[in-house]
Amino acid sequence: MTVATCSACGAVPHDKIEQMIEAEHRLDISVPSVHCAGCIGSIERGLMKVSGVRAVRVNLSLKRVRIDHDGSSKVEENVLDQLTNLGFEAHLLDGKLLNNKPDEQSRNLLMRLGIAGFAAMNVMLLSVSVWAGAEGITRDLLHWVSAAIALPTVAYTAQPFFKNGWSALRVGRLNMDVPISLAILMAAGLSLYETAHGGEHAYFDAALSLTFFLLAGRYLDYQTRAKARSAAVELTALEVPRAQRMRNGMVETVAIETLQIGDRVLVRRGARVPVDGKVVNGTSEIDMSLLTGETMPQLVAENDVVYSGTLNLGAPIEVDVTHIGQGTKLSEIAALVATAEATKTKYTSLADQAAQIYAPLVHLLAFGAFIFWQFYSGDTRLAIGIATAVLIITCPCALGLAVPAVMTAASGRLYRLGVLIRNGAALERLVDVDTVVFDKTGTLTTGIMTVVQAPKGEDLRLAASLAKYSDHPLSVAVASLIDQGAFQQAKDMIEHPGQGIEATVKGIHVRLGRAEWFGVKPVAGYVQTWAQIGDQPASVYLFEDTLKNSAKQAVLQLKKRGLKVVLLSGDTQLATERLGAQLGIDHAIGAVLPDEKLALVQSYGGRVLMVGDGLNDTAALAGAHVSMSPASAIDAARAASDFVLVKDDLTLINSCIALSKSAKGRMLENFGIAAGYNVIAVPIALAGFATPLLAALAMSASSICVSLNALWLTRGK
């Protein structure tokens, strides 16, 4: 049987239609704690068990999970619950915001580079016959064929230089692309003139090889910058896209943009707060680590303020919306980050400084050569040829490669060490650092609580047996104090939201929770929980964040370099000072909010290295002179950082500083090579002894020398 179809529908391939359908039912979730193939397997196998899930793909480098599902209403909630049950922290992302800008520029440059290289090889093959002595009609024919290949190729592949050069000229200034564009245009134009008038020499191969080498430098430079996605975009993607709105006694799932101030939303256990608002019903504990960086939950009750993006760990709460859109705390931090990023981009790199001096000098030399030879010989063709040779021989190809070649070599070296460089200019900035500022939780510490004081014997076994039934971070730490076989069964368990839990264990009434619940005074400066066994007085369990193995050595290395080391944390002042003393850090400041952290970083001067991992660090990371984050950091923090420590080893910070000094040395050497080449080659060109072809060959040789010098960075310790 034949089925009639719409011609428009038939024009769309079936697989494309499926992709369009799938895109409408797709979740992008950030999973910061995924770190190995075992994690990937656990997540993919676990999520495929969730009803409605069709496909799961884990991206280890981005620490993200993409889930395709059937669009059923509960699938999002079930997926997040399953990830939590599997032991992975999960942040729902807005996939449309993260993927709305494909990397067209990289593909564009690579395509132009390939076309220029292919055309240059073909024109050089045609030029061999001319160099071998072809004359008359044969030579002219070969020149015209070369022109047919070269002119459209130059017109297309050199557009990045033409556009940038014209943009500079329109506002009355010079940049590197102005002499580059003139050199390419004059080489192609002079060659066309010679070909049209039956001249012996044409330099289409010079114009193409010049374009090829310059595009290679431009592509390498772009690749070192291509990963520097704006942290402000990543922060926006962290906003919860949907909410559970309560209206007329009914709960409905709505898009976040449809909410209005005064609406009431339900925040279920394990869900993220979708808006800034005030709790009107319920008591719970909120994970504020997204804002403060600290893992310990905060008790909230009626009339307390909660913020968008924070996680509800306890009982469901009802929240009245007080701020939406750009008014939320998350949006304020995103705006702070965007401002800080803009400030950082004002840094002038070595290449930019060289361009400011080099570009005017090149034009003066070429113009001077033209004027001299025009008056000296009276031959306009000769004067133009020499001026073109001067422009080509002084063309900043070696300068254009001087920095990108070093950046590419350094990026490879850092990658093998376990560091990703996201911003090439940061390697230059890192050399100037005189102060290193560390975040505490998740950066110097693991975020996992260790018990430093606890009762022993039967009291501990009873408390740990009760703690086993709670997923609170402190309960997990208490439960880990005894062996699996020592646990006792708990009965009649009751959870008191924001306070603690109680149950009967071995016939004894056991309670575990906050000091306030027991009516006792908390121990100052410590994270703590209290336990009461029967009628005995409550006893305290004290906790400290577990220090990373490499933290102490990293701080020692940095202090040996003569750098000032500072600790900033959202934790209490006492806890921050205690950790600072443990690591030998003299400057430790606690209870710092995100905007205060940025202000403090800026107050230390313009040469600060910031190391952090949380949302509360993103503004400081973006505003610091240079910044780093561990691979376990949230997406927004990694996006705001110039370096990402893939290996969980803080001593790599010292390695990065050492390599940055070597890299800057190589850059300066490359500039020296380029300058030395010009000192030798420019007089030869000015004297009229270099044709545009020889000038192009000399320029290519200098570019190769610069690239080889950069490769030495990959050798040695």
Q: pLDDT digit string (tens) for 211-234?
A: 887 787 677 666 655 444 444 455
Single-letter residue type at 474: L
Q: Is the pTM of this model over 0.85?
A: no
Determine how many CB atoms are found less than 10 A away from the CB of residue 84: 16
Report how far apart, in Å, the C-alpha atoms of 190 and of each of 194, 267, 364, 389 are: 6, 72, 20, 11
Residue 9 pLDDT exceeds 50 = no
Contact 25, 69 (CB under 8 A): yes
Cα(193)–Cα(213) distance, rounded to whole angstroms? 24
Kindly indicate the confidence band of residue 12, based on its pLDDT and cuts at 50, 70 and 90: very low
Number of other CB atoms surrounding residue 568 within 10 Å: 26
With tokens 């896209």, the residue in question is 241
Domain with CATH 3.40.1110.10 in the chain: 448-546
Distance of CA 57 to the CA centre of its chain: 21
Instruction: Give how far the C-alpha of residue 712 lies from the chain's centroid of Cα atoms, to the nearest Å.
Output: 27
What is the distance between the alpha carbons of residues 137 and 280, in angstroms, rounded to a whole number? 92
Confidence of residue 152 (pLDDT cuts 50, 70, 90): very high
* Structure letter (DSSP) for residue 257: G
State the span(s) of the chain assigned CATH 3.30.70.100: 22-93
Of the CA atoms within 13 Å of residue 468, those in its CB half-sphere come to 20
**CA atoms of 274 and 414, how far apart (whole Å):** 39
* 589 and 620 Cβ atoms separated by less than 8 Å: no
High-pLDDT (> 70) share of the chain, %: 78
- Please report where in the chains the tokens 């430093």 appear, as a residue: 452
User: How far is residue 612's CA from residue 597's CA, in Å, rounded to a whole number?
Assistant: 11
Domain with CATH 2.70.150.10 in the chain: 240-327
Parallel, antiparallel, or unpaired for β 564-568 and 587-589? parallel
- Residue 133 CB-density burial (10 A; 0-12 exposed, 13-18 middle, 19+ buried): exposed
pLDDT number for residue 435: 92
The CATH label, of 2.60.15.10, 2.60.120.380, 2.60.40.1180, 3.40.50.1000, for the domain at 419-446+548-661 is 3.40.50.1000
β-sheet bridge partners, residue 476: none
**Of the ranges 24-33, 113-122, 277-286, which one carries the lowest mean pLDDT score?**
24-33
Portions of the chain given CATH number 3.40.50.1000: 419-446+548-661
Cβ proximity of 109 and 219 under 8 Å: yes
Range in 224-238, 403-417, 621-635 with the lowest mean pLDDT? 224-238
Class of domain 22-93: alpha beta
For 281-306, the pLDDT digits (tens) are: 888 888 776 666 566 677 888 888 88
- Mean pLDDT, the chain, rounded, equals 78
Q: What are the pLDDT digits (tens) for 34-54?
A: 766 667 878 888 898 888 888
User: Residue 115 belongs to what H/E stretch?
Assistant: helix 104-131
Between vectors from CA 570 to CA 567 and to CA 573, what angle results, nearest 5°? 70
pLDDT value of position 558: 93
Residue 313's identity, in one-letter code, is L
Predicted confidence (pLDDT) at residue 676 exceeds the cutoff of 60: yes
- DSSP states along 471-500: -SHHHHHHHTTS-GGG---EEEEEEETTTE
Confidence of residue 660 (pLDDT cuts 50, 70, 90): confident
Between CA 23 and CA 291, with CA 327 as vertex, the angle to 5 degrees is 80
Instruction: Answer for the pair 423, 403: CB distance below 8 angstroms, yes or no.
Output: no
What is residue 20's predicted lDDT score, i.e. its pLDDT? 38
CA dihedral 356, 362, 365, 371 (to 10 degrees): -110
564-568 and 435-439: which strand pairing? parallel
Q: Is 304 helix (H, G, I), strand (E, B) or coil?
A: coil
What is the distance of C-alpha 182 from the center of its chain?
A: 36
Residues tagged active-site: 439
Q: In angstroms, rounded to a whole number, what is the distance separating the alpha carbons of residues 444 and 548?
A: 6
Confidence of residue 357 (pLDDT cuts 50, 70, 90): low
Hey, which CATH number is domain 240-327, 2.100.10.30, 2.60.34.10, 2.70.150.10, 3.20.20.80?
Answer: 2.70.150.10
Q: In sequence order, what are the beta bridge partners of 503?
A: 510
pLDDT at 194: 79
Question: Residue 7 has which token pair?
Answer: 């011609």
Is residue 389 within 8 A of residue 366, CB to CB? The reply is no
- Say yes or no: domain 448-546 is CATH 3.40.1390.20: no
